[in-house]
Amino acid sequence: MGITEIQNMTKAEKLEAMELLWDAISHDSTPVQSPSWHKGVLDKRREKIVSNQAHFITLEKLKERLR
């Protein structure tokens, strides 16, 4: 199946396909390797937290920004 077939699916068909994929993935015990760049992103975020340079907002503030 390619992107063209997916684009031609109805929303209901896409949701059903996602549910089937999620079910298959959630029952697969094979470990997933994170990309190597993830560690770098997490390390930078941890540095900002430790050095008090991180800025946090509440979930409500985030929702307001996204509206």
pLDDT tens for 23-65 read 999 999 999 899 999 999 999 999 999 999 999 999 999 999 9
User: What is the model's pLDDT at position 41?
Assistant: 97
Number of domains in the chain: 1
User: What is the model's pLDDT at position 49?
Assistant: 97
Closest among 34, 35, 56, 60 to 45, alpha carbons compared: 56
**Residue 34: what residue type?**
S
**Residue 59: what residue type?**
L
- Residue 17 lies in domain: 3-66
Give the pLDDT band of residue 1 (cuts 50, 70, 90).
confident
Contact (CB, 8 A) for 9 and 17: yes
User: What is the model's pLDDT at position 33?
Assistant: 92
Task: Find the mean pLDDT for residues 14-24.
Answer: 97
